[in-house]
Amino acid sequence: MVDLNDERVKNMPPEIWFPYLGIKIEKLDPVAFQIFGISVYWYGILIGLGVLAGLLVATKEAKRTGQNPEVYMDFLLYALIAAIIGARLYYVAFSWDEYKDNIMKIFATREGGLAIYGGVIGAVIAGVFYTKAKKIDFWVLADTSAPALILGQAIGRWGNFVNQEAFGGYTDSLFAMRLMKSNVYDIPQEVLNHIQILDGIEYIQVHPTFLYESLWNVGVFIFLIWYRRHKKFTGEVFMMYLLGYALGRIWIEGLRTDQLLIPHTLVPISQVVAGISIFFAIVFIIYKRKKEI
């Protein structure tokens, strides 16, 4: 752990810098603390906070709509397990070259490698089986969970910030973020072509895509909280979640430098999934609204 009161640390150049916003972060340690020699990472803490915030939103919505809040506490366990498995499988499937020679590495989740779309797919599958087993309406559960899910995603994205990952290509825009080159892995040449040298330290200057997505998700969350009282059919809030998140992701994914690509192509799989989500959500909403007339 780094002692932030150490004079040597105080005089160090910032690890993270938003030059046009006037924000400098001298040191950002991905390890929050240690327990019995085991490191506890900020990434995990932020994911946990996102889950808890989502659970709070879902249970409050359940109470508002006359449901049993304990259903969502119970479902959370199954959803989390399915989401972690789905997020890992999605990442491994589209990063197979990294794992094909060491299959056991697939289980090394502490090294990173989770994809949010895989997590969402896993949670939805868990929801289908859970609602069938409990004999409750899947679409009611989906509508109640949608605002909770997008809020959890908004909070969880800050874990990427702490890890200094999931950033975009070079930019000189207002939100440009500078990271110490020595702290970052797998830097594309396009970014290396714009190295910034300050006080003898090399920085890359990139799009903070974690921030873009987090802010976008907060906007979608606010919209869903408003729209839930105006929905025309059960399931529409979830469809609006699919549509709203995908609209942001299809743009933001195009900025990122760590895209998971469809094998033997240069097409980002998450953009394809986002595009399918947009099409499906629009068609479903139109169909259901016409059916309700």
Q: Is 142 part of any domain? A: yes
Q: Which two tokens stand for residue 71?
A: 């259903």
Single pTM value for the model:
0.91
**Position 1 pLDDT exceeds 60:** no
Regarding whether 232 and 89 lie in a shared domain, the answer is: yes
Regarding whether 123 and 202 lie in a shared domain, the answer is: no
pLDDT of residue 120: 95
Regarding whether 222 and 239 lie in a shared domain, the answer is: yes
In whole angstroms, what is the distance from residue 34 CA to residue 38 CA? Answer: 5
**Position 88 pLDDT exceeds 80:** yes
**Position 202 pLDDT exceeds 50:** yes
Regarding whether 101 and 44 lie in a shared domain, the answer is: yes
Regarding whether 178 and 57 lie in a shared domain, the answer is: no
Regarding whether 144 and 214 lie in a shared domain, the answer is: yes
**DSSP states of the chain:** ---TT-HHHHTSPPSEEETTTTEEES---SEEEEETTEEEEHHHHHHHHHHHHHHHHHHHHHHHTT--THHHHHHHHHHHHHHHHHHHHHHHHTSGGGTTT-GGGGG-GGG----HHHHHHHHHHHHHHHHHHHT--HHHHHHHHHHHHHHHHHHHTHHHHHHT-S-BSB--STT-EEEEGGG--S--HHHHTT-EEETTEEEEEE--HHHHHHHHHHHHHHHHHHHTTT-SSTTHHHHHHHHHHHHHHHHHTTTBSSPPBPTTSS-BHHHHHHHHHHHHHHHHHHHHHHHH-
Q: CA dist 117 to 84, 127, 153, 169, 184, Å?
A: 11, 15, 11, 21, 24
| pLDDT band at residue 9 using 50, 70 and 90 as cut-offs | very low
Regarding whether 191 and 223 lie in a shared domain, the answer is: no
Q: Among the three residues 184, 206, 228, which one is the final residue of a domain in this structure?
A: 206
pLDDT above 70: percentage of residues in the chain: 94
- Mean pLDDT value of segment 260-283: 95
Q: Among the three residues 206, 225, 253, which one is the final residue of a domain in this structure?
A: 206
Q: Which residue, 91, 80, 159, 153, is CA-closest to 122?
A: 80
- Please write the tens of the pLDDT for every residue from 121-141: 999 999 999 999 999 999 999
- Mean pLDDT value of segment 235-245: 98
Regarding whether 192 and 245 lie in a shared domain, the answer is: no
| pLDDT band at residue 2 using 50, 70 and 90 as cut-offs | very low
pLDDT of residue 111: 66
Domain that holds residue 183: 1-27+172-206
| pLDDT band at residue 287 using 50, 70 and 90 as cut-offs | very high
Contact 88, 116 (CB under 8 A): no
In whole angstroms, what is the distance from residue 31 CA to residue 50 CA? Answer: 18
| pLDDT band at residue 105 using 50, 70 and 90 as cut-offs | confident
pLDDT of residue 185: 85
- Mean pLDDT value of segment 1-11: 49
Q: Is 32 part of any domain? A: no
Q: Which two tokens stand for residue 267?
A: 């097409």
Q: Which of 31-40, 191-200, 234-243 is the most confident on average?
A: 234-243
